[in-house]
Structure 1
Amino acid sequence: MIAAFYFYPMIQALLLSFKSGRGANLHFTGLANYKRLFTDSVFLTAVKNTFLFLIVQVPIMIVLAMFISVLLNDSKLRFKGFFRTAIFLPCVTSLVAYSVVFKYLFGADGLINLALLKMHLIASPIMWISDPFWAKITIIIAITWRWTGYNMIFYLSALQNIDQSIYEAARIDGASSIRQFRSITIPMLKPIILFTSITSTIGTLQLFDEIVNITKGGPGNATLSISQYIYNLSFKYTPDFGYAATVSYTIVAMIIVLSVIQFKAAGDK
Structure 2
Amino acid sequence: MEATKKNSWLTENRRSAIAAYLFISPFFILFAIFGLFPMLFSFYLSFFRWDGLDPMTFNGLDNFRFIFSDPIFYSSIQNTFIIGLLGTLPQIVVSLLIAFALNSSLIRFRNTFRTLIFLPYITSIVAVAIIFGLVFNNQPFGFANYILSLFDGGPIRWAAEYWPVKFAIATMVFWRWVGYNTIIFLAGMQSIPRELYEAAKIDGASIGQQLRLITLPMLKRIVMFVVFTATIGSLQLFTEPLIFLGRGLREEGITVVAYLWRDAFVYNTFGTASAAAIVLFVIIITLTAINLALSNLIGRSKRRVS
TM-score over 0.5 (shorter chain): yes
Residue of structure 2 equivalent to 1:115:
147
Residue pairs, 1:81-120, within 5 angstroms: 81-107=111-137, 108=139, 109-117=141-149, 120=150
Q: Which ranges of structure 2 fall in alignment gaps of 5 or more residues?
A: 1-28, 300-306
Q: Does the aligned pair in 1 maintain the 2:86–2:167 contact within 8 Å?
A: no
Which of 241, 250, 259 is 1:229 aligned to? 259
How many equivalent pairs are there?
266
Residue pairs, 1:132-143, within 5 angstroms: 132-143=162-173
Residue of structure 2 equivalent to 1:21:
50
Please give the alpha-carbon distance, in whole angstroms, between the structure 2 residues aligned to 1:130 and 1:38: 25
Q: Does the aligned pair in 1 maintain the 2:160–2:250 contact within 8 Å?
A: no
Report the CA distance between 1:13 and its aligned residue. Answer: 1.4
Please give the alpha-carbon distance, in whole angstroms, between the structure 2 residues aligned to 1:178 and 1:218: 46
Please tell me whether residue 258 in structure 1 is matched to residue 290 in structure 2. no
Name the TM-score, length of structure 1 as normaliser: 0.91
* Cα distance, 1:82–1:255 mapped onto 2, change above 3 Å: same
Letter in 1 for 2:143: L
SS of equivalent to 1:100: helix
Task: Name which structure has the greater RCO, CA cutoff 8 Å, separation 6+.
Answer: 1
Which of 220, 227, 240 is 1:197 aligned to? 227
Which of 9, 14, 18 is 2:38 aligned to? 9
Q: Does the aligned pair in 1 maintain the 2:148–2:154 contact within 8 Å?
A: no
Q: Does the aligned pair in 1 maintain the 2:241–2:249 contact within 8 Å?
A: no
Report the CA distance between 1:100 and its aligned residue. Answer: 0.7
Please give the alpha-carbon distance, in whole angstroms, between the structure 1 residues aligned to 2:247 and 2:83: 13
Q: Does the aligned pair in 2 maintain the 1:158–1:192 contact within 8 Å?
A: yes
Report the CA distance between 1:180 and its aligned residue. Answer: 2.2
Q: Does the aligned pair in 2 maintain the 1:132–1:218 contact within 8 Å?
A: no
Q: Which moved more, 1:141-150 or 1:130-139?
A: 130-139
Residue pairs, 1:35-184, within 5 angstroms: 35-107=65-137, 108=139, 109-117=141-149, 120-184=150-214
Please give the alpha-carbon distance, in whole angstroms, between the structure 1 residues aligned to 2:106 and 2:261: 49
* Cα distance, 1:122–1:261 mapped onto 2, change above 3 Å: farther
Taking every aligned residue pair, what percent have the same amino acid on both sides?
Answer: 36
Please give the alpha-carbon distance, in whole angstroms, between the structure 1 residues aligned to 2:152 and 2:245: 22
Report the CA distance between 1:174 and its aligned residue. Answer: 4.1
Report the CA distance between 1:236 and its aligned residue. Answer: 0.9
Q: Does the aligned pair in 1 maintain the 2:48–2:56 contact within 8 Å?
A: yes
Report the aligned-residue RMSD.
Answer: 1.9
Q: Does the aligned pair in 1 maintain the 2:84–2:170 contact within 8 Å?
A: no
* Cα distance, 1:106–1:194 mapped onto 2, change above 3 Å: same
Q: Does the aligned pair in 2 maintain the 1:47–1:225 contact within 8 Å?
A: yes
Letter in 2 for 1:114: Y
